[in-house]
Amino acid sequence: MAGIYLHIPFCKSRCIYCDFYSQTDETFIDKFTEAVCREVRLRKQMLANETVRTVYFGGGTPSRLQQKHLEKIFDTLYAEFSMDNLVEVTLEANPDDLSPEYIGMLRRLPFNRISIGIQSFNDDELKFLG
C-alpha cells in the first residue's frame, strides 16, 4: 500500500504562524502544475509494484488550484500509478475557497475528504492571524 503527498505551496496570504513553505504569487500555478506532473513521471518507478491507496494535497492552500490544474495532476497520477483502489483522497482547503461551485468540482474529481483549515471562529483573532 502506498500514499502520495503533494505539497501545493500557494496561499491567498502569508499567515504569521505558518512555518510551511508557501507563496502568494499565483502566477506560477500553471508552471508549478507542469513541474508536479514531470516529478510524478520521474518518480513512477518508486511505486512500480505498489497500489496507491491515498493521495493528500497539502500546503500551502491546495484549494487555490483551479479545476484544470487538479485534472492535469490526476490525469498524470492515473497514467503513472496503479490507483484502482483509492481509499482516501484529501484536499486541504481554506473555507473562503469553498464555494458551492468549487465543492461541486471536487465531487466530480476523486476527492472524498476535505481538510478545512480553521484557525479560529473569532473574527478579531482571524484578522490578527492574517
Does the pLDDT of residue 3 top 90, yes or no? yes
Query: Where do the domains of the chain lie, and which CATH numbers do they carry?
Result: 2-129 (3.30.750)
With bands split at pLDDT 50, 70 and 90, how would you rate the model's confidence at 72? very high
pTM, to two decimals: 0.89
pLDDT of residue 18: 66
pLDDT of residue 12: 80
Q: What is the DSSP string of 43-86?
A: TGGGGTT-BEEEEEEEES-GGGS-HHHHHHHHHHHHHHSB-TT-
With bands split at pLDDT 50, 70 and 90, how would you rate the model's confidence at 24? low
Mean pLDDT of 66-75: 98
Mean pLDDT of 40-61: 94
Q: Which of 105, 125, 123 has its CA nearest to residue 114?
A: 105
Long-range contact list for 17-24, CB < 8 A, 24+ apart? 17/119, 17/129, 20/59, 20/60, 21/60, 22/59, 22/60, 22/61
Mean pLDDT of 14-40: 84
Sign of the CA dihedral running 64, 11, 94, 77: positive
pLDDT of residue 130: 62
Q: CA 9, CA 72: separation in Å to the nearest integer? A: 17
pLDDT in tens, 84-104: 899 999 999 998 899 999 999
